[in-house]
Amino acid sequence: MEKAKRKAVFDVVDEYLRRAETMAERMFASGWNEVASSIEPLSNIFVGATEVVVTIDLPYCDSESVKLKIIDEDTLEVYAKTRQMIKLDDFGIKHRRGEFSCFHTVIHVPVPVNEEGISSKLKRGVLEVRLPRAI
């Protein structure tokens, strides 16, 4: 019992550190992951009384290429393949090499949500995901 309780505390600390690292990464990293060929998109979260609305800016993407996954009841993973390969060279960047084929992000939602009833639409290049709040 004592052992289990101590483990739970470490789990909480680990979780806290993991989230702090993720937040720091999201705040300060440029979001162009050359190793994974992915781009971290801009996103926004609106918490309503009955649902959470997450929007994600996805230029160069079509709705068919978007994949959504609820990892925990408060974590949304979004992946979207771009229509074309995006190269840093196309933007005149010479000192870095990078080719990107997708957007990828993991978004922590501030309240628990239900995977059932999730809906999404891509309009004007912005993905809108509606997540019902867990009661």
31 binds other proteins (CB under 8 A): yes
SS3 119: strand
Q: Rounded to whole angstroms, how far apart are CA atoms 120 and 52? A: 12
- Residues making up the chain, counted from first to last: 135
Restricted to residues 51-80, the positions that interact with other proteins (CB under 8 A) are 55, 57, 59-60
Q: What are phi and psi of 101, to 5 degrees?
A: -120, 0
- Candidates 44, 59, 70; CA nearest to 102 is 59
- Counting contacts by CB under 8 A, is residue 30 touching other proteins? yes
Residue 10 or 92: the one with the smaller Cβ distance to other proteins is: 92
Residue from the set 66, 76, 86, 109 that interacts with other proteins by CB under 8 A: 86
Quote the least distance from Cβ 83 to other proteins, whole Å: 9
Instruction: Single out the segment in contact with other proteins by CB under 8 A; choices: 8-16, 39-47, 73-81, 107-115.
Output: 39-47
H-state helical runs in the chain: 2-28
Rg (C-alpha) for the chain, rounded Å, is: 17
Decide whether 15 or 44 has the Cβ nearer to other proteins: 44
CB atoms within 10 A of CB 47: 14
Instruction: Return residues touching other proteins (CB under 8 A).
Output: 27, 30-31, 39, 41-42, 44, 46, 55, 57, 59-60, 86, 91, 123-126, 128
